[in-house]
Amino acid sequence: MHSRRFAASPARPPVHATGYCLGRTLLAIGAAARARDPRPGSADLKTITLFAAQTDFREPGELGLFVDSRELANLDALMWEQGFLDGAQTAAAFQLVRSRDLIWSRLVHEYLLGKRTEPTDLMAWNADTTRLPYRMHSENLTHLYLQNDLAEGRYCVHGRPVALSDLRLPVFVVGTERDHVSPWRSVYKLNVLTDTEISFLLTSGGHNAGIVSEPGHADRRYRFGTRRENDPYVSPDEWFAATPVRDGSWWPCWQQWLATHSGDMVAPGLGAGAVLGDAPGTYVLEP
């Protein structure tokens, strides 16, 4: 494998940053905060890639059924007592959202018919849960899902609001056609919040399987288009109708996009870092 080198100081080259699910929203917030308050001497962001990336939560999909003031008060009390939301509790919420696929069909297949489901790599990934720290999860649900503070200019970093309109770097956004967590039309709303260059890709599949879509995977397809800076806005349905379908995995498309925003190829090197602790980290146990 190879990595890419950028035309900048070799000590702190700019980086391509990627975020998935909640991490994609945190990345968008962090990138906007860095654009507002540049940090001399630190590595710049070359591009950001957001997988299933909601930044406007007015239409959060089926997960919004679990987010209201009463439910958040119950969750807050639970997390305050134990300092985190357990991974099994998070998994149960997502199973309820997709109860037909993740609960009832499995009960019928395994309990009533006595047929054990063969494990797959994606099932193993779904089972690899982790705890969510109290403050992070509480602020995510309250300020993003319930109050939509980021899209409406009220979300604060270091005591001051951040605005996604401050983004001035290329952004690659991936939505999936059957996403029950981050509906793709909601993901597409980033086009309304910033004028920077956005390359939007819509792939077949759902929140997990649509992202884990390696080359050679059968029956995969995607749509892809780029809106340049200051291009007029196109609604998601207009974009869908005008953008042709491409067969295959979207991963090579992303790789080519990264290549066009990168420098010369260089051989990778592994740094001699120190091990701080076992995964997922001690921070998840802190209130």
pLDDT at 3 exceeding the cut of 50? no
The Cα 57–Cα 155 span in angstroms is 13
Query: Span 75-84, mean pLDDT?
Result: 81
pLDDT of res. 4: 42
> What is the model's pLDDT at position 180?
82
Q: Are 125 and 212 in contact (CB under 8 A)?
A: yes
Amino acid in the structure at residue 84: F
Q: Give me the mean pLDDT over the 226-236 stretch.
A: 92
What global pTM score does this model have? Answer: 0.78
Q: What percent of the chain has pLDDT over 70?
A: 81
| pLDDT tens digits, 52-66 | 889 999 888 777 676
Residue-level pLDDT at 21: 82
pLDDT tens digits, one per residue of 23-52: 889 999 999 999 999 877 777 899 999 998
pLDDT at 96: 53
Find, among 236, 249, 134, the residue nearest to 203 by Cα: 249
Confidence of residue 1 (pLDDT cuts 50, 70, 90): very low
Selected residue with higher pLDDT from 265 and 156? 156
Distance CA 18, CA 41 (A): 21
The closest alpha carbon to 29, from 200, 151, 210, belongs to 151
What's residue 74's pLDDT? Answer: 80
What confidence tens digit (pLDDT) does each residue in 155-176 have?
A: 999 999 999 999 999 999 999 9
pLDDT of residue 117: 73
| pLDDT at residue 201, rounded to an integer | 98
**Model pLDDT for residues 95-123, shown as the tens digit of each residue:** 555 555 655 566 666 777 777 777 777 66
User: Closest Cα partner for 171 from 97, 95, 249, 229?
Assistant: 229
On whether the CB atoms of residues 84 and 134 are closer than 8 A, the answer is: yes
User: Could you give the percent of the chain with pLDDT greater than 90?
Assistant: 42
Nearest to 158 by CA among 40, 39, 75, 46: 39
Identify which has the larger pLDDT, 97 or 236. Answer: 236
Q: Which backbone phi and psi does 268 adopt, to 5 degrees?
A: -75, 160
CA distance 9 to 236: 39
Q: What is the pLDDT of residue 48?
A: 96
* Choice between 82 and 243, residue whose per-residue pLDDT is larger: 243
Three-state SS sequence of 77-129 = HHHHHHCEECHHHHHHHHHHHCHHHHHHHHHHHHHHCCCCCCCCHHHHHHHCC
Burial of 118 (0-12, 13-18, 19+ CB in 10 A): exposed
Identify the pLDDT of residue 8.
Answer: 43
Question: How confident is the model over 246-269, as a mean pLDDT?
Answer: 88
For residue 154, give the 3-state DSSP assignment.
Answer: coil
List pLDDT tens digits, range 120-143: 776 676 677 777 788 888 888 888
Residues 6+ apart with CB under 8 A from 107: none
Give the pLDDT band of residue 236 (cuts 50, 70, 90).
very high
Helices (H), the chain: 22-36, 69-82, 87-97, 99, 105-106, 121-127, 134-139, 184-187, 190-193, 236-242, 251-260
Is 21 in the active site? yes
**Average pLDDT over the chain, rounded to an integer:** 82
Q: How far is CA 168 from CA 6, 25, 34, in A?
A: 18, 17, 11
Active-site annotation holder among 5, 17, 18, 21: 21
**Spatial contact of 67 and 146, defined as CB atoms under 8 Å apart:** yes
**Beta strand 15-20 with 156-157: parallel, antiparallel or unpaired?**
unpaired
Per-residue model confidence (pLDDT) at position 23 = 84
**Whole-angstrom Cα distance, residue 57 to residue 182?**
9
Please tell me whether residue 224 adopts helix, strand or coil conformation.
Answer: strand
Q: What is the mean pLDDT of residues 245-250?
A: 96
